[in-house]
Amino acid sequence: MSTTIVDVRGVDVELGGHRVLTDVNFHVDTGEFTGLIGSNGAGKTTLLRVMLGLIEPTRGEVRWPGNARDERRVGYVPQKVALDVDVPLRVRDFVALGDDGHRYGLHRRTRETWSRVEEMLDAVEATDLAERRIGSLSGGELQRVLMAHALVSRPELLLLDEPLANLDPGATQDIVELLARVRERQHVAILLSAHDINSLLGVMHRVIYIANAHVASGPTDEVVRPDVLSQLYGHHVDVVRVHGRVLVVTGDVTTGPVAEHPDLVVE
């Protein structure tokens, strides 16, 4: 039986006098794979930061039923982390900080913590990186380590900000499959933001579509439809399905059809 992990209710966000999000409502249930889909600058990162409590919403609230706010069990994988090359931290140490890095005080790490670190490195297929200096990793390696770091505290929900950006199609598929496996084996719900819906179609239970500062959420088939998205954008939108891929084409009479993405342009 699934229960709700996080419930976002009527959230408005204004940043610098601009309305970034309006009346956002959705929830994430245990074990679900959710895609937060929207074009660049649509407010995906803002929404994730609101969920993490890093930005206070102007109106509305983010509720974590079951857990008090400071012990909510959520792991976060940001899009990029600026790491100092010379930081004296092995990958192993960095992952362990995901468990206790926020805790003040003197306490030894138990063998149990270290074995959990190993387990998570194994889960993201990064065991061979364990002894490396954290600043020496490549972008792809660092992403896996960040996932292990987020997983080590055994979160109920893993938030990933654009983990598929700047990846070639093969690598994208690898990461999506890895995440699907992690979700299943670690019993963790996953919410990841992306600007392209297609690579997630096979694994996603629910989509949160964000456009024009509004969101629509639900099962993919119920959200990615011309009527729902047209209402979201405030003007007519076509949804085209070609060879199992979904193309969202927005546009108006004067500028002609404009696809959400350059690679999806429909002439």
| Residue the block writes with tokens 């309305």 | 19
Nearest distance, CB of residue 141 and another protein, angstroms: 15
Helix (H) or strand (E) run with residue 175 in it:
helix 169-186
Per-residue contact flags (x/-) with another protein for residues 25 to 64, judged by CB under 8 A: ---------------------------xxx----------
| Residue the block writes with tokens 């299943």 | 184
CA–centroid distance for 188 within its chain? 13
| CB closer to another protein, 44 vs 204 | 44
In the three-class reduction of DSSP (H, G, I as helix; E, B as strand; rest coil), residue 64 is classed as coil
Task: Choose the binding region for another protein from 10-18, 181-189, 210-218, 251-259 (rule: CB under 8 A).
Answer: 10-18
Nearest distance, CB of residue 262 and another protein, angstroms: 21
Site for another protein in 105-134 (CB under 8 A): 105-106, 133-134
In the three-class reduction of DSSP (H, G, I as helix; E, B as strand; rest coil), residue 38 is classed as coil
| CB closer to another protein, 103 vs 241 | 103
Helix (H) or strand (E) run with residue 46 in it:
helix 44-52
| CB closer to another protein, 100 vs 174 | 100
Contact criterion met (CB below 8 Å) for 74 and 229: no
**Distance separating alpha carbons of residues 42 and 231, to the nearest angstrom:** 16
Residues binding another protein (CB under 8 A) = 14-17, 52-54, 70, 76, 78, 81, 83-90, 93-94, 97-98, 100-106, 133-134, 146, 149
